Structure 1
């Protein structure tokens, strides 16, 4: 079976945790299978991989442990966020007052707006740097779980006699029902990976970043090969 799932915790090459420390994947109940008269379509199953991962023991344990392991980063980010809000609020209040008062020129308003935007963007980048270890931890845990997901899916499908598996979001209409395989996959996944390592090793990079580096290296190698061939002196 080809890879069923890419890392869901990555954005722009790296998943970064929110200051509020919300989980990367919100746990949600298994979606109900569409049905007509309670009939089950033989061999057809549905499953939400995001829901399975978010409800797995390894994921939920890591989410709990992360609050303690990275408490210093969460506290630092929260303190910095509070300071940024205090810095920006009077600037926004002044901008709104000047705009409504009608005394400030358009150029002055644009300068104020640009200053506020610059502070916001700088603050966002600073918070991302503070929370980078948290984002790496999320990506590392998700990748460990995803590495076991394919086998868990295949095992659950085999045991339940499911030959076609689709996402609930992909169903428009079906004359009958589909077996909900979420819990079966979850059981297999919990057996395969009851817990995950929380902190990645030094120098670890998420799968998407590694794949991008490999693609860039391959492209550079292809570009270098013709250039090297052109530089070869012609023999006599």
Structure 2
């Protein structure tokens, strides 16, 4: 099955901290934190867009799964040639030995991976583009939603959580901004115009959403491993919206 929800394969966001600046209001007091990525991830509009993307591009996701399975099957006999101790695993020592010997099997595996990634990128590109359009549509309403919270709570400065060494939970207004967004933009379109291109900040947020989902997946896997034998399984994660492994869907503006 395709792992839950995010489309872009990039697991690491741009090195600079992502921030969507709110206008300063010197006439009021208070400092707060907000995470645009968390706001979007929690919004009703983004959740609805993910469900719509999953339905709209289901055939493509099925093809992606099939392509990955085919690539894995092709790679298995090649990997077996590198498994010199026959433990059905290829460890670092075996990889290094193959590199030192300039084993041509490594090149064959790399070629298989490249071909599979290219095919997956082509298949997932339309879904990635749809997600980007949904993200950007929500972002257009972000500043207004943030300003409404800032004004209501008489906040003077909003910073990203990364800017703080410490802040109480009450300083985080992400949930309040999400609530405002849910009022003003409960749904968004996933059908961009033909000539539309995503902005750089949209691509950066999509990357950070992918990173956030990877963290959740690792945490879920760790919890699964720690669960005692015979314990009830964890609740199923929400249905996936799209596949990882997409190429960058479009050049930023």
Q: TM-score if structure 2 supplies the norm length?
A: 0.62
Answer whether contact 1:57 1:194 (CA < 8 A) is retained: yes
SS of the residue corresponding to residue 187 of structure 2 reads: coil
Structure 1 contact 46–178 (Cα < 8 Å) conserved: no
Residues 128-150 of structure 1, C-alpha deviations (whole Å, 9 max, x = no match) = 11111111011110000011111
Q: Quick one: higher RCO (CA 8 Å, sep 6+), 1 or 2?
A: 2
Q: Secondary structure at the match of 2:84?
A: helix
Q: Are the structure 2 counterparts of residues 19 and 203 from structure 1 closer, same or farther at C-alpha, using a change threshold of 3 Å?
A: farther
Task: Give 2:106's match in structure 1, choosing from 106, 113, 135.
Answer: 113
C-alpha distance 177-84 of structure 1, shift in aligned 2 (>3 A): closer
1:20 aligns with 2:3: yes
Gapped runs of 5+ residues in structure 2?
9-28, 86-92, 201-250
Q: 1:195, 1:105 → 2: CA distance?
A: 51
- Map 1:5-154 → 2, pairs under 5 A: 19-23=2-6, 43-97=30-84, 107=101, 109=103, 111-154=104-147
Q: In 1, Cα distance between the equivalents of 2:62 and 2:75? A: 20
Alignment root-mean-square deviation, CA: 2.7
Unaligned runs of 5+ in 1: 1-17, 26-41, 212-236
Determine helix, strand or coil for the equivalent of 2:141.
Answer: helix
- TM-score norm. by structure 1 comes to 0.66
- Alpha-carbon distance in structure 1 between the residues aligned to 2:4 and 2:31: 37
Bigger Rg, which one: 1
Q: Note the alpha carbon deviations across 1:25-74, whole angstroms, 9 max, x for none.
A: 9xxxxxxxxxxxxxxxx511111111110111100001111111110110
* 2-structure distance, mates of 1:67, 1:169: 32
How many residue pairs were aligned? Answer: 174
Partner of 1:204: 196
| Shift in Å, 1:180 | 2.2
Equivalent position SS for 1:201: coil
